[in-house]
Amino acid sequence: MEVIYEDNHIIAVDKTCREIVQGDKTGDKPLSEMLKVWLKEKYCKPGNVFVGVTHRLDRPVSGVVIFAKTSKALSRLNEMFRVGEVRKTYWAIVKNRPPQDEGELVDWLVRNEKQNKSYAYDTERPNAKKAILRYKLIAHSDNYYLLEIDLKTGRHHQIRCQLAKMGCPIKGDLKYGFDRSNKDGGISLHARSAEFIHPVSKENVRIVAPVPDDNLWKALSVDR
């Protein structure tokens, strides 16, 4: 667990694809509980330590995850994420070049609970939610392309689903059409940064997560 930002109200972690944000059926220890132990030891705190979950990343996704250290910050951050006041930028490595080097994707996503998968459609249909993102090609190698994604809505598996529908499945993402898994078991989708007005101090905050320790990531992100 790597802490990349901390103040009196907020703490942010650079999540790996092996970590989970909240407890789930696997029984693995989530980052929220790991942070409580870390804070308790760092500040020699007696009793329980408060750590609130403000948003989530899928397990196979890496990058910035923000937690609240106070109840005031938690309630305000939850609302900020809900109404889109936190600008989240993602990087994704895909195997096909997109039809255009930059553009906006607008789809209607339907979530299948049993499959834990979303399906994208061009038109509205029952139980569908509108999904919007902007993407830009920022680097490429002989075989892979690095896209920067500005997420406008927060739907289930949105980036994974919409990029796959465009014909650009994310490297390692077997669920959405990539042909083989990554060695680390994750997918090449990284929550690169989060930018927002601090819920308490009202100052501008930008938190950036370094790219994963991987040769392809490093090659594509050099000078960025």
Tokens describing residue 22: 């909240």
pLDDT number for residue 181: 95
Helix residue spans in 84-179 (DSSP H): 158-165
* Mean pLDDT, range 70-91, rounded to an integer: 95
pLDDT number for residue 71: 95
Q: Quote the percentage of the chain above a pLDDT of 70.
A: 100
Assess whether pLDDT exceeds 80 at residue 223: no
Query: Distance between CA 37 and CA 217 in Å, rounded?
Result: 31
Segment (H or E) for 216? helix 215-221
Confidence of residue 24 (pLDDT cuts 50, 70, 90): confident
Structure confidence by residue, pLDDT tens digits, 84-133: 999 999 999 999 999 999 999 999 999 999 999 999 999 999 999 999 99
Structure confidence by residue, pLDDT tens digits, 34-54: 999 999 999 998 888 999 999
Q: Which amino acid is at 108?
A: W
Quick check: 99 and 211 in contact, CB under 8 A? Answer: no
pTM above threshold 0.85: yes
pLDDT number for residue 139: 97
pLDDT number for residue 75: 97
Candidates 40, 23, 41; CA nearest to 32 is 23
Quick check: 217 and 189 in contact, CB under 8 A? Answer: no
Higher-confidence position of 24 and 45: 45
* Mean pLDDT, range 202-218, rounded to an integer: 96
pLDDT number for residue 222: 83
pLDDT number for residue 207: 98
Confidence of residue 1 (pLDDT cuts 50, 70, 90): confident
Confidence of residue 192 (pLDDT cuts 50, 70, 90): very high
pLDDT number for residue 25: 77
| Full set of structural domains in the chain with CATH | 1-219 (3.30.2350.10)
pLDDT number for residue 23: 78
* Mean pLDDT, range 148-153, rounded to an integer: 94
> What mean pLDDT value characterizes the chain?
95
Candidates 182, 190, 185; CA nearest to 210 is 190
Quick check: 86 and 80 in contact, CB under 8 A? Answer: yes
